[in-house]
Structure 1
Amino acid sequence: MNTVRSFGFLAKKILLLSLITCWGISGHAQEQRPNILFVISDDQSFPHASAYGSEFVDTPAFDRVAGEGILFMNGFVASPGCSPSRAAILTGRYPWQNEAAGTHASSFSEKYTVLPDLLEEAGYTVGYTGKGWGPGDWEAGGRERNPAGPAFQDEELTPPHDYIRDTDYAGNFRVFLEQRPQESPFYFWLGTSEPHRAYEEGIGRAAGKKLEDVEVPDYLPDTPEVRGDLLDYAVEIEWFDRHLGEALALLKERGELENTMIIVTSDNGMPFPRAKANLYEDGIHVPLAIRWGEHVAGGRVVEDLVSLIDIMPTVLEAAGVEHRGEYVMTGKSLMNILTSSEEGIVDPSRLAVYSGRERHSSSRWNHLGYPQRSLRTHQYLYIRNFAPQRWPAGSPRRIEDGQLTPMHSGYHDIDAAPALEVMTEQADDPYFNRYLHLAVGRRPAEELYNIKKDPACINNLALDPEYEELTQSFRERLRGVLNKTGDPRVAGDGDVWESYPRLRGPMREFPAPEWVLPVKED
């Protein structure tokens, strides 16, 4: 997009809005409306930031936001995949409330109100750089631009490593600030494509990082290959953090740091087996820090359960902007937490967060998804698998040129990675087979984990008779929320999810599973 031309249009719109009473804005908010900088990485799990104590990741910019604002210990995405998670952030609604936008790489209907549009209508200048909403086809939903706003992508740089995007994210933010009308508050989405795969292998060790500093999750084999893969992932997190730091410096130089609400987070968990595209802890638990000058007492650590669908109502309340009222937000504003001076549990009414997923990639026969919903409390994670007969990471084999590919070649819900290869290439070894089974093996209809004792989600308590009553209570509680929020999976229309087309990414062929084949008579 031509950024100068796009700002010409925006300037006219802002001038018109300045001549009339801004709809939906209180007088107080008009006088002191904050700028909003939303900074989002691509595939980063909690606790992979140095503010959380991670020893193999160094994130000084994130640590600064957390130290001068609030470090959230329990931030969760509404979906463990990029596009449904981002759509949930932009609408303040659960993925199962957003139709095709609630699955991966489909469309995003224009009927769903998104945060940048509301702010723009209220006089904000809006824009984004890097990765906004996606992957998917927003034009197929009737939209004229990416739901994240007008694109600012012209500034480029020479990446330090292979597979790092050449977009100068902070440079594009600078262009946005320079072209924005000064009388207008702004909303800007800075979305990096890092630490999404692929990675240049060995960049972690080349940067001086040590294998022994890595914290290997209990669901991955502890090998040099896996440790090295995690170090490479850490380097890309640090690239994201560098651009965050440059964005903070730009705000300070312009005297706008203190009146800017800065929100830093990620769209889903890390691109490793049993993390991204899974409702386990490392798929949905993400970093989150918020800074807003004197409006937010800094240096606090908050343990409230927070969903990223809470971001939209928080920003709207801070800006004094009302929702249109159609396709209303499900999220709950965080303003009572931000304006408090307390730490720990600030709002005891936040008892649980909810997440879900449908299709992630083309990984099964007929492009079927793997439908899941989850409920996370402070102590437990409950997962409902609606199609346990399906393979959670994809069918073990696909079809190419009419022939079945080798075993373990079809797990396309897991990004290609050394951490996956080390397991599939040594699948006959009992040590590696255990981890492979955790990543790709079929799962029961219900799972329950004590996160305090088992953050890796290994010991399924739903299979333990001693936890039958607790499992039933979570089952009923989750179903109640899904019913209240209109989830087709519990309303008798679950197959609608299989009707939404996959509009981005490869389409693969898989053999028909045994549960759809006709029964042979003797």
Structure 2
Amino acid sequence: MKLFSKYISKTIPLFALALYSCSNDKAEQRKQREGLDDRKQPNILFAISDDQSFGHTSFGGSEYIKTPAFDRVAREGIYFSNCIAGSPGCAPSRSTIVTGRYHWQNEQSGQHASSWMKKHIPFIDLLDANGYVTGRTGKGVAPFQYARNEQDSLWRATDAGGITYSNISYEKGSPGDERTAGGISTINYFENFKYFMENVRGEKPFFFWFGAHEPHRSYEQDSWKRNDKKTENVKVPGFFPDREIVRGDLLDYAVEIEWFDLHLQRMLTYLEEIGELENTIVIVTADNGMPFPRAKANAYEYGIHVPFAVRYPKSFPGGRIVDDMISFADLAPTILEVTGTSPEGMLPVSGESILHILKSKETGIVDPSKKYVFTGRERHSSSRYLNWGYPQRAIRSQDFLLIWNLKPERWPAGAPQRIVKGTTDQLWPMYGLDDMGIHHSDWAFTDIDAAPTKSYIIENWQDEEINPFFELAHGKRPEFELFNVQNDPFCLTNLTGKPDYEETEEEMKRALMKELTRSGDPRIVGPDKEIFDSYKRYSPIRDFPNPAE
């Protein structure tokens, strides 16, 4: 992966040392004006996109996605090459971010479209109690059902990502509507951030959650054509067929990533203009991987490995690429430590602070003691009989990814056939293909978002060149899968059972089981190992036939 070249260190001319004493007072005045007093708690801007895989920034090597704001944070700060999301789906992953706990520890508050219980206190509440002013724009910790009225007495009333204080939006068709594609949210993220800073923040340190809805689907198909994009620049992942429709789909995805980055750029520029940037820790990441087949909602690299960069040159030496394994479970304890906030009131966290890595001057592996990180999934969309999920647990090291598919008899992308809405026994055709061979995404494999790439693969599943891609995305999988992610980032070659990897496989299985047991995963320790499938879903439910009949 092509990253950035070595930064150039600057030297201080000898004569400048003689001027130090007379300029010291002015430097101190400048520091105070710009909010750089070392005694101040740092501000935090937390920016999170919705569905973006690790390599999809220009800093990370992409030639068809331009992300100058992310690149600046990564170039001037610390770029983490091995950040693993809490889950390959948004709700459980975001749950891990704010609680510092694996999603399987958070009961229904770690499961897609279920309810958020009061006892799962996010670190943001503790910042509020420690003198911070917190706020949010866009998507918070969602989708969850929060309290609707007093009868929901056990549920949290407000989004665990913070409070939105304004709802400044674009109006479709108005002169000020600068959106570059039809699928982009109407929320004007930057203006809402600016409102918070000028009308809510006051003189206190702030934590602000910028949660873009992009690049979550749906997209305006072919929006790339008016956004200066070219299909020849696209690098197609190895689990997709290299076809023009797939390249176009990836470019529409790129357009939405760049929209997220544009608003981040405006926030950085604004903070710089008001003298607050150097006293603000900027964290940029994504909740899970790209919304394409075999990526999002899958524990493969393109589902769980996300971009991650932190900028705070005042205390975190920049210009570094760090290869340490870090987990979303590490974010809450890190933010609590850096702000001097006690975790008292939160349930016990599973992550570990990475503040010592941030403060280090080293590159590469800074702290080799953390050999593994862990992730997994349960339910995503309503995609199987009785709303069953596809439980996975995964362990990732520097070189290897081991996935445990706990229910290999289930379809990983959702059932291939659905009951017609409003009936009890009528079925849509297999794979969602109508009599004309046209694919209907909501009829089958509904853990994969509707997408031109999905439809193309399914409509051509019998073609001998396309069928392998169909099987990769939709076919049933073995109980265990092991991949060398350095040599095989697309996770195409399963190494389980191979003699050369037997020792690695067994060691990772033991480490995974040890951590799942330690963290009290109900799938392992019970007493109800199927409890995740019993949590109520508050989003629409689809009906599927009983696979046993």
Q: With the length of structure 2 as denominator, give the TM-score of the two structures.
A: 0.87
Match of 1:290 among 310, 313, 330: 310
Q: Is residue 131 from structure 1 mapped to residue 139 from structure 2 by the alignment? A: yes
- The equivalent residue for 2:426 is 403
SS at match of 1:263: strand
| 2:530 aligned counterpart, secondary structure | helix
> Which residue pairs with 1:378 in the alignment?
398
Equivalents in 2 of 1:308, 1:247: separation in Å? 23
Name the residue aligned to 2:168: 155
> Residue 464 of structure 1 corresponds to which residue in structure 2?
498
Q: CA RMSD in A?
A: 1.4
Partner residue of 2:113?
105
Supply the distance in 2 between the matched residues of 1:190 and 1:263 (Cα, whole angstroms): 10
What pairs up with 1:187-202 in 2 under 5 angstroms?
187-202=207-222
Deviations 1:380-411 (A, max 9, x none): 00001110010000000101034211211211
Runs of 4+ in 1 over 4 A off after TM superposition: none
Aligned partner letter, 2:546: A
Taking the TM superposition and a 5 Å limit, the aligned residue runs for 1:117-266 are 117-139=125-147, 142-157=155-170, 158=177, 159-266=179-286
CA contact (8 A) 1:76 1:286 kept: yes
Q: Deviations over 1:227-261 (max 9, x none)?
A: 11001100000000000001111211221100111
Contact 1:138 1:147 in 2 (8 A): no
- In the alignment, which of 271, 286, 293 is matched to residue 291 of structure 2? 271
Deviation of 1:466 after TM superposition, in Å, equals: 4.1
2:439 alignment partner in structure 1: none
AA in 2 matched with 1:462: T
Which letter maps to 2:523? R
Report the counterpart of residue 534 of structure 2 in structure 1. Answer: 499
The question of 1:448 aligning with 2:482 is answered: yes
1:476 aligned residue = 510
Aligned partners of 1:57, 1:326: CA distance in 2, in Å? 39
Deviation at 1:205, TM superposition (A): 2.8
The answer to whether structure 1 residue 419 and structure 2 residue 427 are counterparts is: no
CA shift, 1:465, in A, is 4.3
Question: Which of these residues, 324, 328, 340, is aligned with residue 320 of structure 1?
Answer: 340
Contact kept, 8 Å, 2:181 with 2:255, in 1: the verdict is: no
Greater Cα shift, 292-301 or 76-85:
292-301
Cα distance in 2 for partners of 1:303, 1:513 equals: 43
Task: Choose which of 69, 77, 90 in structure 2 pairs with 1:69.
Answer: 77
**Change over 3 Å in CA distance of 1:167–1:121 after alignment to 2:** same
User: Does structure 1 conserve the Cα–Cα contact (< 8 Å) formed by 2:297 and 2:303?
Assistant: yes
Aligned counterparts of 1:57 and 1:417: Cα–Cα separation in 2: 19
Selected match of 2:86 from 44, 64, 78: 78
* Structure 2 residue 469 is matched with structure 1 residue 435: yes
TM-score after normalising by structure 1 = 0.91
Which residue of 304, 325, 328 maps to 1:308? 328
User: Alpha-carbon deviation of 1:30?
Assistant: 9.8
Q: Distance in 2 between matches of 1:221 and 1:199?
A: 20
Matched, 1:32 2:40: yes
SS of 1:443's equivalent in the other structure is coil
Give me the whole-angstrom Cα distance separating, in 2, the residues matched to 1:128 and 1:211.
35
**Structure 2 unaligned runs (5+)?**
1-36, 171-176, 433-443
Q: What residue number does 1:512 align with? A: 546
The 1:463/1:212 distance shift into structure 2, 3 A limit, reads farther
Q: Are 2:369 and 1:359 equivalent residues in the alignment?
A: no
User: Matched residues, percent identical?
Assistant: 50
Q: Which has the higher Rg, Structure 1 or Structure 2?
A: 2
Contact residue 397 and residue 408 of structure 1 kept, 8 A: yes
Counterparts of 1:372 and 1:82 in 2: how far apart (Å)? 15
Displacement of 1:285 after TM fit? Answer: 0.3
2:6 corresponds to: none
CA drift at 1:181: 4.5
1:472, CA displacement in angstroms?
2.1
Number of residue pairs the alignment of both structures matches: 486
Q: Aligned pair in 2 of structure 1 residues 91, 326: CA closer, same or farther (>3 Å)?
A: closer
Contact 1:153 1:167 in 2 (8 A): no
Over 3 Å counting, the alpha-carbon distance change for 1:97 and 1:260 in structure 2 is: same
| Aligned equivalents of 2:409, 2:111: Cα separation in 1 | 20
Deviation at 1:334, TM superposition (A): 1.3
SS at 1:83 equivalent:
helix
